[in-house]
Structure 1
Amino acid sequence: MGQIVIAEFMEEAAVESLRAAHHTLYQPRLFEDPPALHAALAGARALIVRNQTRVDAALLAAAPDLKVLGRLGVGLYNIDLPACQARRIDVIPASGANADSVAEYVILAIGTLLRGAFGATAEVAAGGWPRDRLIGGREMAGKTIGIVGFGDIGRRVARLAEAFRMRILGHDPLIAATHTDWTETRTEMVGLEELLARADAVTLHVPLGPETRGLLSAPQLALMKPDAVLVNAARGGVVDEAALAAALRAGRLGGAALDVFETEPVPAGSPLAGVPNLLLTPHVAGATVESNARVSSLIAARVLVALAMC
Structure 2
Amino acid sequence: MYHVKTYNAIAPAGLATLSDQYRVNQPQAAPDAYMIRSVDLHEHDFPASLKVIARCGAGFNNIPLARASAAGIAVFNTPGGNANAVKELVLAMMIAANRNLIAAAEWAQQVAAGADITLEAKKSQFNGQEIAGKKLAVIGTGHVGSLVANAGEALGMEVVGYDPYLSVESAWNLSRNVHRAATLAEAVAGADFVTVHVPKNEETTGMIDAGLLAQLKPTAVLLNFARLGIVDNEAAIAALNAGRLRWYLTDFSDATLQGHPRVVILPHLGGSTVEAEANCAKLAAQELMTFLETGNVVNSVNLPNVSAPFASDHRLTLIHQNIPNMLGQISTVIANAGINIENLVNRSRGDYAYTMVDVASMPPTAAEALVATLGQIEAVSRIRLLHR
Whether these two folds match at TM > 0.5 is yes
For the aligned pair, the TM-score class normalised by the smaller chain equals 0.7 to 0.9
Identity %: 32
Q: Does 1:105 align with 2:89?
A: yes
Q: Among residues 121, 139, 143, which one is paired with 1:152 in the alignment?
A: 143
Q: Secondary structure at the match of 1:52?
A: coil
Over aligned residues, Cα RMSD in angstroms?
Answer: 2.5
The residue that corresponds to 1:86 in the other structure is 70
Q: Which amino acid aligns with 1:49?
A: I
The residue that corresponds to 1:37 in the other structure is none
Q: Distance in 2 between matches of 1:183 and 1:81?
A: 31
Q: Which amino acid aligns with 2:266?
A: T
Q: Which amino acid aligns with 2:272?
A: A
Q: Distance in 1 between matches of 2:91 and 2:72?
A: 39
Q: Per the alignment, do residues 227 and 300 of structure 1 end up closer, same or farther by CA in structure 2, a change over 3 Å counting?
A: same
Q: Among residues 254, 259, 270, which one is paired with 1:274 in the alignment?
A: 259
Q: Secondary structure at the match of 1:287?
A: coil
The residue that corresponds to 1:304 in the other structure is 289
Q: Does 1:95 align with 2:79?
A: yes
The residue that corresponds to 1:52 in the other structure is 39
Q: Secondary structure at the match of 1:120?
A: helix
The runs of 5 or more residues in structure 1 that have no matched partner are: 27-39
Please say if residues 42 and 63 of structure 1, whose CA atoms lie closer than 8 Å, have aligned partners that are also in contact.
no
Q: Which amino acid aligns with 1:254?
A: R
Q: Per the alignment, do residues 88 and 108 of structure 1 end up closer, same or farther by CA in structure 2, a change over 3 Å counting?
A: same
Deviation at 1:122, TM superposition (A): 4.2
The residue that corresponds to 1:6 in the other structure is 6
Deviation at 1:301, TM superposition (A): 2.8
The residue that corresponds to 2:313 in the other structure is none
**Dislocated runs of 4+, deviation >6 Å:** none
The residue that corresponds to 1:30 in the other structure is none
Q: Secondary structure at the match of 2:68?
A: helix
Per the normalisation by structure 2, the TM-score is 0.67
User: Which has the higher mean CA deviation after the structures are superposed, 78-87 or 273-282?
Assistant: 78-87
Q: Which amino acid aligns with 2:4?
A: I
Q: Which amino acid aligns with 1:139?
A: E
Q: Distance in 2 between matches of 1:297 and 1:86?
A: 27
The residue that corresponds to 1:295 in the other structure is 280
Higher helix share: 1
Q: Secondary structure at the match of 2:21?
A: coil
Q: Which amino acid aligns with 2:228?
A: G
Deviation at 1:62, TM superposition (A): 3.4
Q: Distance in 1 between matches of 2:29 and 2:46?
A: 6
Residue correspondence of structure 1 range 87-236 to structure 2 within 5 A = 87-125=71-109, 126=111, 127=115, 128-129=118-119, 130-135=122-127, 137-175=128-166, 180-181=171-172, 184-190=175-181, 191-236=183-228
* Rg comparison, structure with higher value: 2
The runs of 5 or more residues in structure 2 that have no matched partner are: 295-385
Q: Per the alignment, do residues 213 and 42 of structure 1 end up closer, same or farther by CA in structure 2, a change over 3 Å counting?
A: farther
Q: Distance in 2 between matches of 1:17 and 1:216?
A: 40
Provide the aligned length of Structure 1 versus Structure 2. Answer: 284
Q: Distance in 2 between matches of 1:16 and 1:175?
A: 34
Q: Distance in 2 between matches of 1:64 and 1:41?
A: 14
Q: Distance in 2 between matches of 1:120 and 1:146?
A: 26
Higher strand share: 2
Q: Among residues 201, 206, 230, which one is paired with 1:238 in the alignment?
A: 230
Q: Per the alignment, do residues 194 and 294 of structure 1 end up closer, same or farther by CA in structure 2, a change over 3 Å counting?
A: same
Deviation at 1:176, TM superposition (A): 8.1
